Structure 1
Amino acid sequence: MLKTKKGFLVLTAILALSFVVMVGCGAQDDAEQLTVVGSGGYPPFNFYEGDDVVGFDVDTGAAIAERMGVELNYVTSDWDGLIEGLRAGRYDGILGSMAITDDRLEVVNFTIPYYYSGAQLVVREDSGITNPADMDGKVIGVVTGTTFEDDALELGAEVRLYQDDNQTLMELINGRIDGVITDRLVALGGMEQISGGEQLTLAGELLRLEEMAIAVNKNDEELLEELNQILQEMHQDGTLTSISQKWHNGEDITVK
């Protein structure tokens, strides 16, 4: 009976030790990954090719992770839930073409910008619309949770919300809305890649310029500092320029 009890105690100790080792390994695995998130519906920045997410944002994340000595874990989620997911600790950062705004700075920190672009109105070529001022009373589609909703409202338009710009541009192509406001580069990419995109055109100049950066949890000052240092190096050594030229037909969007 005593021997059985000893055996039981030994077995219990072994199992407990195994559990601690497994937990420790899991934590180490997490520490060896940089988990960042984007919407997955924002070509050419982050979008699906088959089962894989690719694009400018993804390549930028891969270059950052390599310099950190970790693996990149690029995940996707609905745009309007990204900030809350970051604050809840589900991601290390949002690397999904998020613009720096005062409202967002109240709840998250941002790195230095890694590229620059701007808000652009897109319409059908046969619409007769050539100026954003023509959108008063019209219906404009934007991605929910983006700053483009404010742009549409300022033009006096009715706003219709969608989950990504694949949806907004298809709605415009099919004539269910009068215009789309999105990032200029996303608009150009969509016009080139989406079926029916040749029916669309840019209306007027940029509504405003935006600075795109990586959002980081306000409690993670150490990561913010590390990312800023790496981004600065990638700006200086031409890495970001090369990634930009790969995804934007030779154009460097990493400088103003």
Structure 2
Amino acid sequence: MKRLKIIVFIAFFLLVLAACGSDETSGEDTTNESDDNSKSSETYDLIEDGKLTFAASGEFKPFSYMEDGKMIGYDIAVAEAIADKLGLEPVQQKAKFSGIVTGVKQGRYDIAVASHTITDKRLKQVDFSGAYYYSGPVIYTRPDSDIQSAEDLEGKEISVSRGSTYVEMAQEYTENIPQVDSDVVALQSLAKGHHDAVITDSITGQTAIDNGLEIENRGQLGVSEQAVAVAKDNDKLQEAVNKALKEMKESGELKELAMEWVGVDITEEPEELN
């Protein structure tokens, strides 16, 4: 009888140990999962836990424009792909282009994926990722214009998008620079007979021409790099964005998005744009 009691006690003790071990393992898994879920928010100093809030203008087809109440386009697709690679939920914020960089600086947006050209002036406010596409400023006029090159812009009325790098570029030729809310608005106004010329990027201009706008390319003024804006005190997020873009470029995903939304590969730095 005593032997039977010992055997029962040992069996019961082993069962208790097994149950405790199971609970400890389960507890460890839960803790790790919780840590993983919160890690990104703590590391990247996000506006909202588990979410990547990004800004774009929604007025720059094919890069960002409105459809069924949401922004779509190349910029938007890139932003959402970055969020996916970071394990975050993408949150769109539509904003006037001229105020987006300031919004990132002030913490209203985690990042901006809004076709911003990297410039010294902007680098004083925010940091940038590597380029996710390349473009270049072009002079656009109406077909009947006597403007044939940059030399002919002297003293002319040149319209540009407010807050864009083209403002400073236009100032090299004239003081008469009407600034509007977007490049598309400037080009539409030009086609209707307003202004003498518009300076905007080659892709936007060519897209407008392909969509029937009666304007013409009268000369390339350079090559520019478009990149993701990140707040200066958020180095970890900048590093993560760069890593995501590098993976997308190496896998061909970035090129695929460009072909889908823009129709040409704009992800490789050109030796020369014609």
What TM bracket, shorter-length normalisation?
0.7 to 0.9
Q: 1:173 aligns with which of 188, 191, 215?
A: 191
> What amino acid maps onto 2:172 in structure 1?
E
- 2:137 maps to 1:124: no
8 Å CA contact 2:47–2:107 kept in 1: the answer is no
- 2:84 maps to 1:66: yes
Structure 1 stretch displaced more, 29-38 or 84-93? 29-38
- 2:261 maps to 1:247: yes
- 2:239 maps to 1:221: no
Distance 1:207 1:127 in 2: 18
Q: 2:251 aligns with which of 233, 237, 244?
A: 237
Distance 1:50 1:121 in 2: 33
> What amino acid maps onto 2:215 in structure 1?
L
- 2:177 maps to 1:159: yes
Pair 29,122 (structure 1): closer, same or farther in 2 beyond 3 Å: closer
Q: How does 1:12-91 map to 2 (within 5 A)?
A: 30-91=48-109
CA shift, 1:135, in A, is 1.4
CA shift, 1:157, in A, is 5.7
Distance 2:159 2:47 in 1: 41
Please report the TM-score for the alignment, with normalisation by the length of structure 1. 0.84
> Where does structure 1 lack aligned partners over 5 or more consecutive residues?
1-23
8 Å CA contact 1:136–1:157 kept in 2: the answer is no
> What amino acid maps onto 1:79 in structure 2?
F
Distance 1:149 1:113 in 2: 21
Q: Which runs of 4+ in 1 moved over 2 A?
A: 27-30
* Matched residue, 1:203: 218
8 Å CA contact 1:34–1:71 kept in 2: the answer is yes
8 Å CA contact 1:110–1:214 kept in 2: the answer is yes
Pair 226,29 (structure 1): closer, same or farther in 2 beyond 3 Å: closer
- 2:127 maps to 1:109: yes
Distance 1:98 1:29 in 2: 21
CA shift, 1:155, in A, is 2.4
Distance 1:255 1:83 in 2: 24
8 Å CA contact 1:135–1:157 kept in 2: the answer is no
Please report the TM-score for the alignment, with normalisation by the length of structure 2. 0.78
* Matched residue, 1:192: 210
CA shift, 1:130, in A, is 1.9
Question: Secondary structure in 1 aligned to 2:155?
Answer: coil
CA shift, 1:29, in A, is 9.8
What RMSD, in angstroms, separates the aligned Cα atoms of the two structures? 1.8
Question: Secondary structure in 1 aligned to 2:216?
Answer: strand
> Where does structure 2 lack aligned partners over 5 or more consecutive residues?
1-37, 270-274
> What amino acid maps onto 2:240 in structure 1?
E
CA shift, 1:183, in A, is 1.1
8 Å CA contact 2:47–2:108 kept in 1: the answer is no
Distance 1:123 1:157 in 2: 18
> What amino acid maps onto 2:91 in structure 1?
N
* Matched residue, 2:6: none
Question: Secondary structure in 1 aligned to 2:223?
Answer: strand
Question: Secondary structure in 1 aligned to 2:114?
Answer: strand
> What amino acid maps onto 1:106 in structure 2?
K
Distance 1:150 1:90 in 2: 26
Question: Secondary structure in 1 aligned to 2:81?
Answer: helix
CA shift, 1:201, in A, is 0.8
Structure of greater Rg: 2
CA shift, 1:132, in A, is 2.1
